[in-house]
Amino acid sequence: MHDANWEPRIVAFFCNWCTYTAADLAGVSRLKYAPNVRIVRLMCSGRVDPQFILAALAGGADGVLIGGCHIGDCHYVEGNLKTLRRFQMLKRMLAEFGIEDQRVRLEWISASEGDKVRSVINEMVEQLRPLGALALREQFKEWGREVADGQPVSVALGEAKQETEVAHV
């Protein structure tokens, strides 16, 4: 159970040419969306490294939204195809860590779709509320202490536990 006043924190990685421009259009058009999102503008969604997503989640984000140009409309020709491949791989890995599917989302949003930015952000906030805080930061701290103490590291991988011995240096 989580605090009734708790609000999810979302980090959004938006492509400069389409999704970021759509978010700007939403603002100019006075379309209101939840204030729970912090937008990071990148030149292309293809520049979103899976490590960025993991760092956001480990740093306290409860969800990550990636926004890029529609397939076939990428300003860098195939950047969004690269994003899609990385995203599919990342989702499989996050599932192995027991991270819910709704916490990381990929959307194709063109520059003219300010209303879609609003609806996607609001929908994601509503999907994250019942899930509660991710609390991955605390899990990483615990794993870090185990490593520092030279103890076995317990990593939850889906239903199974994997024990890995960490040698003292």
139-155, pLDDT tens digit by residue?
777 767 777 777 655 54
- For tokens 């969004």, name the residue: 80
Question: CA-CA distance, 151 to 144, in Å (whole number)?
Answer: 10
> With 70 as the cut, is the pLDDT of residue 129 above it?
yes
pTM: 0.82
Domain boundaries, the chain: 10-132, 135-169
Q: What pLDDT is attached to residue 136?
A: 80
Q: What pLDDT is attached to residue 152?
A: 58
> With 80 as the cut, is the pLDDT of residue 1 above it?
no
- Residue (of 70, 75, 42, 68) closest to 56 by Cα position: 42
- Which architecture characterizes domain 10-132 according to CATH? 3-Layer(aba) Sandwich (3.40)
> With 80 as the cut, is the pLDDT of residue 108 above it?
yes
Angle at 66 between CA 7 and CA 49, to 5 degrees: 115
Crossing angle for the helix pair 19-28 and 114-128, to the nearest 10 degrees: 100
Q: What pLDDT is attached to residue 4?
A: 78
- Residue (of 124, 130, 2, 137) closest to 63 by Cα position: 124
Question: If you average pLDDT over residues 33-48, what whole number do you get?
Answer: 97
Crossing angle for the helix pair 136-148 and 50-58, to the nearest 10 degrees: 90
Q: With the CA atoms of 35, 37, 41 and 46 taken in that order, what torsion angle do they form, in degrees rounded to the nearest 10?
A: -150
- Quick: pLDDT tens for 55-89: 999 999 999 999 999 999 999 999 999 999 999 99
**pLDDT, averaged across the chain:** 88
- For tokens 């990428």, name the residue: 74
- For tokens 């389409």, name the residue: 18
